[in-house]
Amino acid sequence: MFEKTKFVAGDVPIYRQIADLIADGIVQGKLTVGERLPPQRDIARMVGVNLTTITRAFADLQERGLVESRAGRGSIIADPSVNASFKSAPVEEQGFIDLSVNRPATTGYLEALAALMPQLPRDKRYTSLQDFHAPEGPGWAREAVADWLSPAAGINDPSRIIVTNGAQNGLACVLGAVARQGDAILADAVTYQGIGALCRSLDLNLRPVAIDRDGMLPDALDRTCNEFKPRALFLVPTLHNPTTITLSSERKCELAAIARKHGVLIVEDDVYRPLKADAPRTLVSSDPDITVHIGGLSKCVAPGLRFGAVLAPRALVADIAAMLRINCWSTSPLNALIATRMIEDGHVERIVAGQRDEFGRRQAVVREVLHDVNIWTDDVATHFWLHLPEPWHANAFARAAAQAGVGVLSGEVFAVGRDSVPHAVRVNVGAARSPEDLRRALESLRDVLKADRRLYETMI
């Protein structure tokens, strides 16, 4: 890669040209996650520049989250899904509008929390907050969650509920309980980025299954099951992250039949479901014996609450709870009591209704500003999936958007495997502080889309 390239001083500094060469190699699949790059001195010798230039190039790549340095291993290609998964909040910079993370579109949670907190000491469960609890969570929290999930799940059985520190923690406990090192896990070719980082940490073999505009393709699932003999199938069936696809009842039935045929456990990550009032029937309601259902309040109420739940076949409950006990002993009873009271007092229902209305208004702005752009979205989705025209690629567009003052998340972080990297970006409509900020950000994205990519390459 380095020996065949000549770098000439010009408008773009040589260190930036070198960094962009490595970045393009990552996008094109020539460099893969975990691959070690040559020592910086060796690259300097191959390129014919001084070591300081290479050091600046690597510093630039580290700032972009593309390369990381590890003691004893040198510089390696970073895992973009890890960087994206742990980005905590929108960037607060003057004039910068960060639409790269999911956040509430309203302050409903904060308002409900302010009203609730003074009442907690009078709650009969308050004194139990200083004690240990069973790893599956306090009984009163499991009862509240079972009631909350039952209309969609078709099951109201607290004994099958495990309360978790958010949906990601629930997913980790499920995979830790049901899969062993080297097992294959299947997912949409483009899907929630946290599953990739999690499978790598557990040494599981995450394999992509092709999708179309309606979601995972049944024929592709059948072929992939035959090839890899997977342990589990991971699905985000409602307002899919990042594509916003909601699986139809017919598609769900087809996928479930194939999973059953191959003896594959379905992991149904349905955290967006409360936002979509008319969502089709859940997989756990139709196939409860082969489905683990994961729900939570992060996407529909607030990520800061860190409250999720797993509804599992009874035979798996003890194993999933054991994984949670190993990981953190039990979830925070304070969070559990806050979530329980919000469910019982109707706060969750009101917050979700407010979020749904606000996302609807913001999605209307999206359709107005980007009416001539190829986007996939839904009236109540927290985000939309922006397909890029040629010659744009996801990482290049994300960098150009940042230069224009807007943060978006490159489609690369959602790709399962190097063959399925999409030329698209995810844009979160709730991350803007106001509809007016959202409109300004969308107008900037529209301008970047219609501009010559080369103009931004000279600026970035």
**Neighbouring-strand partners of residue 188:** 209
Q: If you average pLDDT over every residue of the chain, what do you get?
A: 91
Mean local confidence (pLDDT), 428-438: 95
pLDDT tens-digit readout, 233-266: 999 999 999 999 999 999 999 999 999 999 999 9
The dotted CATH code for 81-108+349-457 is 3.90.1150.10
Picking from 224, 227, 136, 230, the residue whose alpha carbon sits closest to that of residue 180 is 230
CB atoms near residue 206 (< 10 Å)? 20
Using the predicted structure, report yes or no on whether residue 91 has a pLDDT greater than 60. Answer: no
- Which residue type does 120 have? L
Where are the domain boundaries for CATH 3.90.1150.10 in the chain? 81-108+349-457
Q: Which of 37-51, 58-72, 223-237, 379-393 has the lowest mean pLDDT?
A: 58-72
% of the chain surpassing 90 pLDDT: 72
* Length in residues, the chain: 460
Cα 31 to Cα 66: distance, rounded to the nearest angstrom: 11
Where are the domain boundaries for CATH 1.10.10.10 in the chain? 14-78
- pLDDT for the residue 85: 45
Using the predicted structure, report yes or no on whether residue 79 has a pLDDT greater than 70. Answer: no
Note the Cα 7 to chain centre separation in Å: 37
Using the predicted structure, report yes or no on whether residue 81 has a pLDDT greater than 60. Answer: no
Confidence of residue 281 (pLDDT cuts 50, 70, 90): very high
Using the predicted structure, report yes or no on whether residue 166 has a pLDDT greater than 50. Answer: yes
Asked if 310 and 320 touch (Cβ cutoff 8 Å), the reply is yes
- pLDDT for the residue 305: 94
Using the predicted structure, report yes or no on whether residue 320 has a pLDDT greater than 90. Answer: yes
- pLDDT for the residue 70: 64
Using the predicted structure, report yes or no on whether residue 72 has a pLDDT greater than 70. Answer: no
Cα 63 to Cα 75: distance, rounded to the nearest angstrom: 13
Asked if 208 and 228 touch (Cβ cutoff 8 Å), the reply is no
Cα 149 to Cα 270: distance, rounded to the nearest angstrom: 11
Using the predicted structure, report yes or no on whether residue 168 has a pLDDT greater than 60. Answer: yes
Asked if 240 and 187 touch (Cβ cutoff 8 Å), the reply is no
CA angle 28, 191, 313 (to 5 degrees): 145
CATH architecture entry for 14-78: Orthogonal Bundle (1.10)
SS3 2: coil
> According to the 3-state scheme, what is the secondary structure of 79-129?
CHHHHHHCCCCCCCCCCCEECCCCCCCCCHHHHHHHHHHHHHHHCCCHHHH
Mean local confidence (pLDDT), 372-385: 97
- pLDDT for the residue 86: 46
Mean local confidence (pLDDT), 34-52: 87
Interacting residues of 426 by C-beta distance below 8 A, sequence separation 6+: 100, 241, 242, 383, 384, 385, 386, 408, 409, 411, 414
Using the predicted structure, report yes or no on whether residue 82 has a pLDDT greater than 60. Answer: no
CA dihedral defined by 160, 165, 171, 175, rounded to 10 degrees?
-80
Cα 186 to Cα 184: distance, rounded to the nearest angstrom: 7
SS3 267: strand
Cα 437 to Cα 456: distance, rounded to the nearest angstrom: 22
Mean local confidence (pLDDT), 100-106: 91
252 versus 395: the higher-pLDDT residue is 252
- pLDDT for the residue 107: 95
Where are the domain boundaries for CATH 3.40.640.10 in the chain? 123-345
The dotted CATH code for 123-345 is 3.40.640.10
Using the predicted structure, report yes or no on whether residue 267 has a pLDDT greater than 50. Answer: yes
pLDDT tens-digit readout, 199-225: 988 999 999 999 999 999 999 999 999
Cα 277 to Cα 288: distance, rounded to the nearest angstrom: 21
> According to the 3-state scheme, what is the secondary structure of 197-222?
HHHHHCCCEEEEECEECCEECHHHHH
- pLDDT for the residue 460: 46
